Structure 1
Amino acid sequence: MSTFQDTARQVIKAEAEALVTLAESLDEQFDAAVTKILETKGRVIVTGIGKSGHIARKITATLASTGTPAQFVHPAEASHGDLGMITRADTVLAISNSGEAPELANLLAYARRFDIPLIGMTSRIGSALASQSDIVLPLPTVGEACGTGVVPTCSTTMTLALGDALAVALMKHRSFTAEHFREFHPGGKLGAQLSRVRDLMHSTDELPLAKSGTAMSDALLIMSEKGFGVVGVTDADGRLVGIITDGDLRRHMDGLLERNVDEVMTHHPRTIDPESLAEKAVAMMSLPSPQITCLFVVDTAGNLPVGLIHIHDCLRAGLG
């Protein structure tokens, strides 16, 4: 077996064991930290230097994208003017495994001077960071996965996980939903996956619709004008009762222009409501027998057509 693989497994197991130890060590200080952040009128100012700084940036991004306003402040830059970014309405989350990072000194002193709540995340309870913090989130003292104790591995993994735990606890308390997440993350694959049908559909004035009894000659003009390759058929009350596709046209080529829409349409077409995820629309269009390229979007209360979503709309959004 590969020596490299042996090393990799040892590292991963060591970090997994560290996470179990962290989970078992959580106490009322974690509750206090969540409560303090919920009470914060401003932002969570996250800070750290070195590896802790890299982790702090990720925690900042996770907090911000899950409903907790947050900003990373580099502790060295803070000493050269960036302390002005921190207000009395904020709460500071300072991260240092040793708790003795000298770069944090001015920022911590600033927080104490202006009575800004300070949460410290450190593995040393007797450190300068812990002694100055209002709330301490302790990291269990465990060995690093490198075996020498000098390369941050288990400690950074625990720090990252503890930050994730804070963000998710806050998110759940605020009943933060996938829709809220999309508001903060409209781009990329995640944004596309959380798109609603209403975000991508064509509106009512673009819909290719014909009333029941319309001559096929007129329906073909509507199909050509709107450019979706379909025509929806509505009854006297405006409810969608059928759809005419290219397939329907081919099946009724003989005497097509002498027919009306009711004779050609497919009854009870697949439809979708505007609040469904756009991914569901893609799945419905991909169903066999037959595969289709668009769906009418209907008000489920009255089956009234309110939009149309085409497979090309979904592809442009990054779905499919």
Structure 2
Amino acid sequence: MTYPNTQETVNVIKDLVSIPSPSGNTNEVITFVEQFLAKSNIETKRNRKGGLIATLPGKDDSQHRMLTAHVDTLGAMVKEIKPSGRLKLDLIGGFKYNSIEGEYCEIETAAGEKYSGTILMHQTSVHVYKDAGKAERNQANVEVRIDEKVHSADDVRERGIEVGDFVSFDPRVKVLPNGYIKSRHLDDKASVGILLQLMKQVQEDKLELPYTTHFLISNNEEIGYGGNSNITPETVEYLAVDMGAMGDGQATDEYTVSICAKDASGPYNYELRKKLVELAKQHDIGYKIDMYPYYGSDASAAIRSGNDIVHGLIGPGIDSSHAFERTHMDSIDNTTKLLYHYLFAEM
């Protein structure tokens, strides 16, 4: 038994987080995933929503499994071009303006041109604005300063920037010698990297899975409906691989795999949860059971859309989710090991 190499997984995660992919603009990162899997001769197909499905045949084709992780991330769109030449934003996904204040960003036009910018409070300069620290961080006050000589809305439009253009945030990915990984968008590109490495290992080692298994790389999870379709009638178990949320009252940490018992959608399947815990115990895998009060996953979206499936949720623990995220290689490693044993376990 050989697990995927954790350092190689981290390298894939670095590549993934470095590709801008706010929900609604994910073609580039999906193409990266396609090409990655093609190198291992894994066939894929895109669904009409732009997500990607890979299928590995199993000994039993009458019952299927499905695993999913999402490549779409938080981001923004240009809401308004101000007379000053700065941009007002509209947010994509569930986060707050304070979590992006001071962040470098990239504006992509419909023609594919890309411009650098910085997300700032209008009242940033303490030498000018008395209320710089007290002003509310909201849509009215937060704006994008474009790194171009623009002084009016016309100057901005001359560069092809318009309402509806996508704005992505600089991930600032950094892997430290002590195993910590800091970056935006570890939710959920850490999980995508893990699944890619697992598929590669199974394929290249010519391992036979007990059940035909589908891997959905979804692209609309942050807006609620990434994994709610393309589920075969034979699918019995559906496991979302997404980050474990950390904070006051939470059991999840940055070193173990988080197994979700319940989120805002309600409890996950009890029998599947118990099976995941038993696998972790059998193979000496560090884990935590947790609940996420303000969270929903592709698995909960699949249940809400009426699929008759057993659903579960696990993932690496991520600190400061939807902001300045961090995890550790230990969490990547434990999540990988649990998924490996789950793929070869009996239903």
Alignment TM-score > 0.5, same fold: no
The structure number with the bigger radius of gyration is 1
TM bracket, shorter-chain basis? under 0.3
TM-score (norm: length of structure 2): 0.26
TM-score (norm: length of structure 1): 0.28
The one of the two structures with greater contact order (alpha-carbon pairs below 8 A, sep at least 6) is 2
Q: Which structure has the highest strand share of the two?
A: 2
